Amino acid sequence: MHLILSAESVQNTIMTNENGQVLYKTSTPFSIRTHMTTFYKVVPNSDPDDMQDHLEAIGEIKWNLMGSSVIKHMFMGPDGFSYRWDMDFRVVRLSHNDATRQELMQSHRRSLSIIGPRRDPSLDVDPSLMHMLDIVILTFVYVEKLQMDKEKRVKRNNGGGGGGP
């Protein structure tokens, strides 16, 4: 499955499938006190007189403003398998946390066609993850936000004459 993100900020984006059907939405309203991302899933409407889909909140991430947010890069899925997140510069990957290290999901950041074709931010998700897509997307938002924050710190340190991270 190929999911397309409406914005590179994973805290405020809409995720659609290849056909343009909205599947997920994240929203992080501006607040001085708390910084909370709400994670929504589209729920089809069963009422034949109202064919609009509805958004249902299925999770929240409370970001630590003072100090760093932390996540273990490994988690046990509801299917009993262990998974791990690997983060490289501008790419986040999910794989089995076993000897195979089979890659199951990869993120792609926006490409402005300077080198190669223009591409919106997106995710390539292996069909074997469909049974737990909500958890995969929720944890992706978390690790991608941490990765983007880390990249900003490195850029700020390097650009400000610092020696790096």
Question: Domain coordinates of the chain in residue numbers?
Answer: 2-159
The reported pLDDT for the residue numbered 163 is 45
The reported pLDDT for the residue numbered 150 is 84
The reported pLDDT for the residue numbered 62 is 86
- pTM of this structure: 0.80
The reported pLDDT for the residue numbered 88 is 81
Q: Locate the DSSP E strands across 78-159.
A: 82-88, 91-96, 103-108, 111-112, 118-119, 122-125
Helix (H, G, I), strand (E, B) or coil at 132: helix
Residues 71, 75: Cα–Cα separation, whole Å: 10
The reported pLDDT for the residue numbered 72 is 76
The reported pLDDT for the residue numbered 15 is 96
Instruction: Please report, in tens digits, the pLDDT of each residue of the chain (165 residues total).
Output: 999 999 989 999 999 999 999 999 999 998 877 788 999 999 887 777 776 778 999 999 888 766 655 557 788 999 999 999 998 877 899 999 999 999 999 999 888 777 778 888 999 999 999 999 999 999 999 999 888 888 888 888 887 544 444
The reported pLDDT for the residue numbered 164 is 43
**The tokens of 128 are what?**
């074997």
